[in-house]
Amino acid sequence: EREEYIEYIDTLPLVNTPEVFGLHPNAEIGYFSQAVRSIWGHLIELQPQTSEAAGGMSRDDFVDNVATDVLDKLPAEFEIWRVRKANEMNITPSLVVLLQELERFNKLIKRMRQTLTLLRKALA
């Protein structure tokens, strides 16, 4: 009986989706959007308010430095074709989800790289 409980618990997802709480799946998008706004708000609060306090660094220079730092830390896009090739004979639901998430993550990386590059060009 105990083993059955443990097996059942092991089948539960590690992350609670909005559906678990009776919310629409898009509720998570709103949460993440608010989290990103909060992060950028904190970054703006952290930046020096005057150029003297920043050692002569202007607001544009500060934003450029943050954008450059984020760009430098962005990972390379995942080579999804390698994952598909390595698992082409063993397609499982987990693999399908993994491939979908890798595609989404690659789109996110690409969008972040494009946006930060455009931001840096606008500041130049």
pLDDT digits (tens, 9 = 90+) for 28-59: 888 888 888 998 888 777 766 655 555 667 87
Whole-Å CA distances, 76 to 18, 97, 108: 30, 20, 11
Give backbone dihedrals phi and psi of 103, rounded to 5 degrees, phi first. Answer: -65, -45
pLDDT band with cut points at 50, 70 and 90 for residue 73: very high
Same domain as 76, residue 43? no
How many structural domains compose the chain? Answer: 2
Task: Assess contact for 95 and 87: CB atoms under 8 A.
Answer: yes
Same domain as 65, residue 5? no
Count the Cβ atoms, other than its own, within 10 Å of residue 59: 15
Structural domain boundaries enclosing 115: 55-123
Same domain as 104, residue 77? yes
Can you tell me the distance from the alpha carbon of 45 to that of 43, in angstroms, rounded to the nearest whole number?
5
| Closest of 61, 59, 62 to residue 50, by C-alpha | 59
Same domain as 34, residue 94? no
| pLDDT, mean of residues 3-15 | 83
Same domain as 7, residue 65? no
Same domain as 34, residue 92? no
Inform me whether the pLDDT recorded for 24 exceeds 70.
Answer: yes
Same domain as 8, residue 27? yes
Same domain as 62, residue 34? no
Same domain as 61, residue 88? yes
Same domain as 116, residue 61? yes
pTM of the model: 0.57
Same domain as 119, residue 62? yes
Q: Which residue has the higher pLDDT, 107 or 49?
A: 107
Give one DSSP letter per residue of 23-70, joined into a string: --TTHHHHHHHHHHHHHHHHHHHHS-SSTTTTTS--HHHHHHHHHHHH
